[in-house]
Amino acid sequence: MVKTQGRRGEVASEVLSDIPERFSIGMRLLALPRDSNRRRELAVEELWPHKGLLVLKFTGVDSISEAEALVGSELQVPRSQRSQLQAGWNYVSDLVGCAVLDQGREIGRIEEVQFGAGEAPLLIVRSAGRTFDVPFAEAFLEGVDLEAKQVRMKLPEGLLDVNAPLTMEEKREQAQGARRKR
């Protein structure tokens, strides 16, 4: 949810679902705050589109201050209310926790999936204290096996080094370049 909207506890939310018409009055949703793993169940009392967002009024959320507590939360549809997906499609929440394999070699596990950084969602993969940003792009994807909790990919050479910390040599070169510019 991106912001409060109105005075009666409404919130405006970006819809990431491919089926936006699925949202309806009485529907139960789960709100997952960014800083917690504890979900809160909410019932939709009213909803309407507004400037590319979906405005939601939840039962029991009746003031701006109560709505502010929801801002930043991710709304999730409970598993029991999910639509059947076409073959080859996956729910983002099912990818979290999966191992990412690059040509058979495990590079880490998916901690989060981010949207808005480009055409493809970005898998945030962590392994041994390192974090990798991996585009979940069809061009790199070989397959997803949710039962085995694996995402198999063929990543371009050097992609995993994009966010790598600088080596000592790179730090020296960077410092020398900064001195030359003075």
Mapped onto helix, strand or coil, the DSSP state of residue 68 is helix
Q: What's the pLDDT at 69?
A: 92
**pLDDT tens readout for residues 1-10:** 889 998 899 9
CA atoms within 13 A on the CB side of 3: 6
Tokens of 85: 């997906």
pLDDT in tens, 24-36: 999 999 998 877 7
Please write the tens of the pLDDT for every residue from 71-109: 998 888 888 877 777 877 887 778 889 999 999 999 999
Distances (CA, A) of 117 to 5, 20, 39, 87, 134: 25, 21, 25, 26, 11
H-helix or E-strand spanning residue 97? none
Give the pLDDT of residue 55: 95
Residues 146-170: tens digit of each pLDDT:
899 999 999 998 888 776 666 677 6
Which candidate, 39, 18, 41, 15, places its Cα nearest to that of 29?
41
C-alpha to C-alpha distance for 153 and 4, rounded to whole angstroms = 39
Distance, CA of 71 to CA of 33 (rounded, Å): 8
CA–CA gap between residue 111 and residue 108 (Å, rounded): 9
Q: What digits encode the pLDDT tens for the residues 125-139?
A: 998 888 889 999 889
Contact 153, 100 (CB under 8 A): yes
What global pTM score does this model have?
0.61
Question: Is 112:97 a contact under the CB 8 Å cutoff?
Answer: no
* Residue-level pLDDT at 178: 64
Q: What is the pLDDT of residues 50-76, one digit of tens each?
A: 998 999 999 999 999 999 999 998 888
pLDDT computed for residue 181 by the predictor: 63
